[in-house]
C-alpha cells in the first residue's frame, strides 16, 4: 500500500467566529470504530478526547492494521466554547516507511506553521483568523453545529493551506450503533473530486460514521461501534 494514497487528514474550520457562540461543555470520551481503507484493509480504530491540563484538550484518532498505521492528534484550547488548535501531529507508517507532519498554531503571532515531512511550499506561515480549526477539530464542530442547527460553513487551516468548505444536509438516515438502530443527520461536502459524508446522531459526541471518497471510490470509512 502506498502511503501517499492513505487519507492524510480527516475531512476539515469555522468561517463564523466561535467567540460569538454560547459555551458548550467539552467532555472526555473514547469511541471505537471499524475502519475500512484503500486496498480492502479492515481494522479497528479509536477516536478519543482527553484533558491536557487547564483549558487544553487532546483529540486523537488511531488506526492500526497489519500493513499500515495512522495517528492524528490535535491539542486545542477551549475558551468558553471557542476552540483553537494549538498543535497537530499527523503520523503514517506503511511497512517500514514512516512519515510525520507537525503543526504549530501561534495565536499570539496570528500564524500557523508546519514541519517534518512537509513540502517547502506547505511549511507556512499561514495567517490565522478567529474561528479557524484544523481538519481533526472539524469532526467535533460538525457534531456540535448539527445539534444546534447552525450553518455548516467552515475554514480549514491544515497542512499548509486554507480551504473554506461548506457541508450540506442530505436528510435523515438510520444507522446502527452498538447493535441498535439510530436516526442520523447526513451531511456532505464535495470538491476537487473528493467527497466527505458524515452521519451525526443526537446525543453522541462523535460522528456515527465518516466516509471519505476520491474520484467516486471509497478511501476511508469509519463506522462507530461504541462510545464511552
Within a domain: 185: no
Q: What is the pLDDT of residue 209?
A: 97
Within a domain: 77: yes
Sequence-distant (6+) residues with CB within 8 A of 32 are: 44, 45, 46, 224, 225, 226, 227
CA-CA distance, 33 to 147, in Å (whole number)? 21
Distances 181 to 143, 176, 178, 225 between C-alpha atoms, Å: 18, 4, 8, 12
Within a domain: 135: yes
**15 pLDDT band (50/70/90 cuts)?**
very low
User: What residue numbers bound the domain in which 104 lies?
Assistant: 3-166
CA-CA distance, 195 to 197, in Å (whole number)? 7
Over range 11-29, report the average pLDDT: 49
Within a domain: 152: yes
CA-CA distance, 108 to 110, in Å (whole number)? 5
Mean pLDDT of the chain: 87
- 16 has pLDDT over 70: no
Number of structural domains found in the chain: 1
CA-CA distance, 188 to 171, in Å (whole number)? 10
For the CA atoms of 165, 224, 94, 219, the dihedral, rounded to the nearest 10 degrees, stands at -50
**200 pLDDT band (50/70/90 cuts)?**
very high
Q: What is the pLDDT of residue 93?
A: 86
Within a domain: 160: yes
% of the chain with per-residue pLDDT over 90? 72
CA-CA distance, 126 to 122, in Å (whole number)? 9
Sequence-distant (6+) residues with CB within 8 A of 31 are: 46, 47, 48, 205, 206, 224, 226, 227, 228
* pTM score, whole prediction: 0.85
At 44-73, the pLDDT tens digits run 999 999 999 999 999 999 998 877 789 999
- 191 has pLDDT over 50: yes
For the CA atoms of 197, 199, 200, 204, the dihedral, rounded to the nearest 10 degrees, stands at -120
Where do runs of H (alpha helix) occur along 78-221?
135-148
The residue assigned the cell 477551549 is 78
Answer for the pair 7, 220: CB distance below 8 angstroms, yes or no.
yes
Within a domain: 204: no
Over range 19-27, report the average pLDDT: 54
Within a domain: 227: no
CA-CA distance, 75 to 89, in Å (whole number)? 9
Please tell me which residue, 17 or 191, carries the higher pLDDT value.
191
- 118 has pLDDT over 70: yes
Over range 173-192, report the average pLDDT: 93
Within a domain: 83: yes
At 27-42, the pLDDT tens digits run 999 999 999 987 678 8
**Nearest residue to 60 (alpha-carbon basis) of 89, 86, 80, 38:** 89
- 201 has pLDDT over 80: yes
Q: How far apart are the first and last CA of the chain?
A: 32
**174 pLDDT band (50/70/90 cuts)?**
very high
Please tell me which residue, 22 or 145, carries the higher pLDDT value.
145
Q: What is the pLDDT of residue 24?
A: 52
**5 pLDDT band (50/70/90 cuts)?**
very low
Amino acid at each position: 500500500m502506498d502511503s501517499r494514497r492513505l487519507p492524510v487528514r480527516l475531512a476539515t474550520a469555522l468561517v463564523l467566529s466561535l467567540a460569538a457562540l454560547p459555551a458548550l461543555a467539552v467532555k472526555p470520551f473514547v469511541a471505537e470504530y471499524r475502519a475500512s481503507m484503500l486496498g480492502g484493509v479492515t481494522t479497528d480504530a479509536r477516536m478519543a478526547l482527553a484533558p491536557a491540563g487547564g483549558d487544553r484538550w487532546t483529540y486523537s484518532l488511531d488506526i492500526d492494521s497489519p500493513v499500515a498505521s495512522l495517528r492524528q492528534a490535535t491539542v486545542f484550547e477551549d475558551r468558553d466554547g471557542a476552540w483553537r488548535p494549538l498543535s497537530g501531529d499527523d503520523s503514517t507508517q506503511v511497512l517500514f516507511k514512516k512519515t510525520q507532519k507537525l503543526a504549530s498554531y501561534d495565536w499570539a503571532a496570528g500564524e500557523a506553521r508546519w514541519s517534518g515531512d512537509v513540502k517547502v511550499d506547505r511549511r507556512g506561515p499561514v495567517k490565522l483568523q478567529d474561528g479557524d480549526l484544523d481538519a481533526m477539530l472539524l469532526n467535533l464542530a460538525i457534531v456540535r453545529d448539527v445539534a444546534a442547527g447552525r450553518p455548516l460553513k467552515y475554514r480549514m487551516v491544515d497542512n499548509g493551506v486554507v480551504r473554506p468548505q461548506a457541508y450540506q444536509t442530505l436528510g435523515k438516515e438510520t444507522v446502527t450503533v452498538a447493535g441498535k438502530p439510530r436516526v442520523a443527520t447526513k451531511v456532505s461536502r464535495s470538491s476537487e473530486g473528493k467527497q466527505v459524508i458524515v452521519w451525526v446522531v443526537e446525543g453522541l459526541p462523535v460522528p456515527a460514521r465518516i466516509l471519505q471518497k476520491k474520484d467516486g471510490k471509497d478511501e476511508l470509512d469509519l463506522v462507530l461501534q461504541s462510545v464511552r
